[in-house]
Amino acid sequence: MSEFMDHQHATSGPDLDDSGNDWLARLSALSDRSRVRIMVVLAQEELGVGEISRTLGMPQSTVSRHLKPLFELGFIAKRSEGTTSLYRIDLRDEADTILWSEISSRVSGAEDVRDDLIRLRQVLLERTSDSRSFFGRVGSEWQAIRRELFGFGFTEEALLGLLPTDWVVADLGCGSGDAAERLAPVVSRVLAVDREPAMLEAARTRLSDHGNVEFIEAQLDRLPFNEGSLDAAIMMLVLHHQEDPQSNVQEVSRILKDGGYLVIVDMVSHDRLDLVEAMQHHHLGFEETTIRQWADRSGLEIRSTRRLHASLNGRGPALFACIMQKPASD
């Protein structure tokens, strides 16, 4: 322990009060064998009070009593998941690290410590084999864990697989191809339509690996498709740029097959005049009554309409999603 004492003498000074009470309290906390045993298992795994109790064969009340000074002195950290507190070793500085290294090396071969580590393996094995216990324990962090393991976007990609694989879908006002990129792997053909050559070129570059995407320059109220030729169409943040959205919806109705779908995503009614000037918006979003008029006048039926959840990173107006369907002929 002389190495540690020399280090502490050289590095303490202003970190301790004049009487050394903090230093003595830290030594005292780790002079209790039960606390040392707790520290040993927490150095292996983050555990709840019940898991520590089972690992060490101590009553939970005793475990809680020993955890309190260890936490207050900064030897361990605590986080909460619902009503459960989880603990892990968390040494606050180099002096604590050297002290704990010296203590743990001296007790590592002790019979009670070896037994603790054997029981810990069993506790962890039971946790792994019981998925309900696992998800109950990590429930509040599961989203972050899943994201770390698998990244973003896989849920959306998997759900798109519900679309019929033989569909032909038009991405109307495709822009740089965001929707078309998601549709291409799961449907037969995607028709990416935009009136701006620059947008089509950006989409063509982005989707160069997808051979089932066709890029078409056209006005959305005069689409170069035969009547009743498409299974579905998407208009994603498009209609607020159009002078006459009603005529665009009617044109989509013309090209849809009986039973075909139109999906519209756009802004709800808002008062952001800056968007009209900066981004050439023709409309300050749309009221639900307006959306229903589009459907009625175009011979389409609204299957659902809902306001989308606001994004923490988004600064624009709220969005809605509406699904319309062309009735099947008798």
pLDDT for residue 134 = 54
Instruction: Tell which residue, 65, 60, 38, 63, has the closest CA to residue 120.
Output: 38
**Sequence-distant (≥ 6) Cβ neighbours of residue 216 within 8 angstroms:** 191, 192, 193, 194, 200, 224
pLDDT tens, residue by residue, 155-180: 788 888 899 999 999 999 999 999 99
Determine the pLDDT at residue 143. 60
What b/e readout covers 272-294, taking b as 16+ CB neighbours within 10 angstroms? beebeeeeebebbbbeeeebeeb
User: What are the tokens at 63?
Assistant: 């475990």
Distances (CA, A) of 42 to 70, 108, 309: 11, 14, 40
d(C-alpha 144, C-alpha 122), whole Å: 26
Domains of the chain: 2-150 (1.10.10.10), 154-325 (3.40.50.150)
CA atoms of 43 and 106, how far apart (whole Å): 15
Q: What sign for the dihedral angle of Cα 68, 74, 77, 83?
A: positive
CA distances for 250 relative to 112, 155, 256, 266, 272, angstroms: 79, 33, 10, 17, 28
Distances (CA, A) of 115 to 57, 63, 64, 89, 302: 10, 17, 21, 19, 66
Residues 34-72 pLDDT 10s: 999 999 999 999 999 988 998 998 898 999 999 999 999
> What is the reported pLDDT for 8?
41
Checking if the pLDDT of 141 tops 70, the result is no
**Rounded-to-integer distance, Cα 263 and Cα 231, Å:** 11
